[in-house]
Amino acid sequence: MDKVAEKVREKGRVIRALGAMSGTSLDGVDAAVLETDGVDIHGFGPSDFRPYSEAEQTTLRAALGQWHGDTLEPATDVVMRAHAEVLDAFNDIDLVGFHGQTVAHAPRQQGTLQLGEGAALAHSLGVPVVWDFRNADVQLGGEGAPLAPFFHFACAKWIGATGPVAFLNLGGVGNITWVDPSYAKPEQDGALLAFDTGPANAPVNDLVHKRLGQPYDKDGRIAAKGTVETGALELFLAESYFSRMPPKSLDRNDFAEMIGLVNELSDADAAATLTAMCAAGVAEAMQHCPSPPTRVLVTGGGRHNPVLMRMLDVSLDCPVAPVEAVGLDGDMLEAQAFAYLAVRVARGLPTSCPGTTGVRAAVGGGTLSLP
């Protein structure tokens, strides 16, 4: 065991890390291998996806917004079982980065809560596991989110970006990372700015699930038939969140009243309006960037929605493209990020800084559990 711990902690050594991410869209668990020394990307390995069943999604939805109570234990069981199934299928892994399932996030009040026990996972997999990535940041005054920006910095280096570039993740909640790749380290002042842009897929997912029994608006087909209700869009943009200076973060349900704004609309008009709200939040976010990015690279499920992508293309003043345009995998970028962060945690390197979460100083969050 001492040799295992020594291997994952040895700075400069390239190892195979396996990251797992279960996002607020509640679609399932992404898992991906990354070869890295915690600083540079050395290679990408295999990946897999384990979807949540409808019954599992129902169990997880019941836990959303809960800090205590009877709904958390069955939801934790779902999270642990799903992760163990997908992660156990990988071979020759040195380290696992386990994010868990966020069910509640209120960093300035109660903190942040991700379901799942990394120590139990390390025991069942027989591999060291890094987990509980967010709490150290919150305890030092940070938002605890977003956490992928340090990996986005490494990605900007890997694609050979020469000017500022923005990574836009459209999951349940949207977040953006503005990267200046001219800096040597992500924690340097001015290298990164990151924050949540607003709701992304979650409101549309919730709408079509409630009204039509569908998990999401596949290919934007419902929104494509609708018309945006500009009055509801204006009310949405009047929210004080958009004028707050970053860093800043959101809980999945912070904009739950959005559904109320479209209650009287048809299915198509409601989906179109909620989709437009996502794009409008991103357009507002761009005003906070230190300088205009040369391009916006979109990751997460939202990039599969052509209606949303067209709205972004129209509303932003720079080229917009899915991350696949630069050779990255937008379905697995978040999982790869937690593989990368796991190596950084094991080696005592920071995982967030004032420019990404508003934390008082650069901090390395996370707990390393040995099998």
- pLDDT tens series, the chain, 371 aa: 578 788 899 999 999 999 999 988 889 999 999 999 999 999 999 999 999 999 999 999 999 999 999 999 999 999 999 999 999 999 999 999 999 999 999 988 889 999 999 999 999 999 999 999 999 999 999 999 999 999 999 999 999 999 999 999 998 899 999 999 999 999 999 999 999 999 999 999 999 999 999 999 999 999 999 999 999 999 999 999 999 999 898 888 788 888 889 999 999 999 999 999 999 999 999 999 999 999 999 999 999 999 999 999 999 999 999 999 999 999 999 999 999 999 999 999 999 999 999 999 999 989 999 99
Amino acid 250: pLDDT:
86
Q: Does residue 244 sit in the same domain as residue 259? A: yes
Residue 347, domain member (yes or no): yes
Q: Does residue 337 sit in the same domain as residue 321? A: no
Give kind and range of the element (H or E) at residue 201.
Answer: helix 201-212
Amino acid 172: pLDDT:
86
Place of tokens 């379905």: 331
Q: Does residue 30 sit in the same domain as residue 80? A: yes
Q: Does residue 104 sit in the same domain as residue 199? A: no
Q: Does residue 212 sit in the same domain as residue 277? A: yes
In angstroms, rounded to a whole number, what is the distance separating the alpha carbons of residues 307 and 288? 24
Q: Is 287 exposed, middle or buried (0-12, 13-18, 19+ CB in 10 A)?
A: exposed
Residue 90, domain member (yes or no): yes
Contact 261, 236 (CB under 8 A): yes
Task: Spell out the long-range contacts of 58-65 with Cβ–Cβ below 8 A and sequence spacing 24 or more.
Answer: 60/26, 60/101, 60/103, 61/26, 63/103, 63/115, 64/103, 64/104, 64/252, 64/253, 65/103, 65/104, 65/251, 65/253
**Residues with Cβ < 8 Å from 173, sequence gap 6 or more?**
24, 196, 198, 199, 200, 202, 250, 251, 252
Q: Does residue 85 sit in the same domain as residue 192? A: no
Residue 253, domain member (yes or no): yes
Go through 123-159 and write b for each residue having 16 or more CB atoms within 10 A of its CB, e for each that does not.
eebebbbbbbbbbbbbebebbbbbbbbbbbbbbbbbb
Residue 199, domain member (yes or no): yes
Q: Does residue 16 sit in the same domain as residue 64? A: yes
Amino acid 110: pLDDT:
84
Nearest CA-CA partner of 118 in 87, 142, 140: 87
pTM over 0.85: yes
Report the interhelical angle of 333-346 vs 149-158 (nearest 10°): 100
Residue 103, domain member (yes or no): yes
The three-class DSSP label of residue 263 is coil
What domain range is 201 assigned to? 160-326
In angstroms, rounded to a whole number, what is the distance separating the alpha carbons of residues 18 and 342? 9
Contact 176, 164 (CB under 8 A): no
Q: Does residue 109 sit in the same domain as residue 183? A: no
Residue 153, domain member (yes or no): no
Amino acid 365: pLDDT:
87
CATH of residue 318's domain is 3.30.420.40
Q: Does residue 192 sit in the same domain as residue 259? A: yes
Q: What are the structure tokens assigned to 356, written together?
A: 């990404």
Total domains, the chain? 2
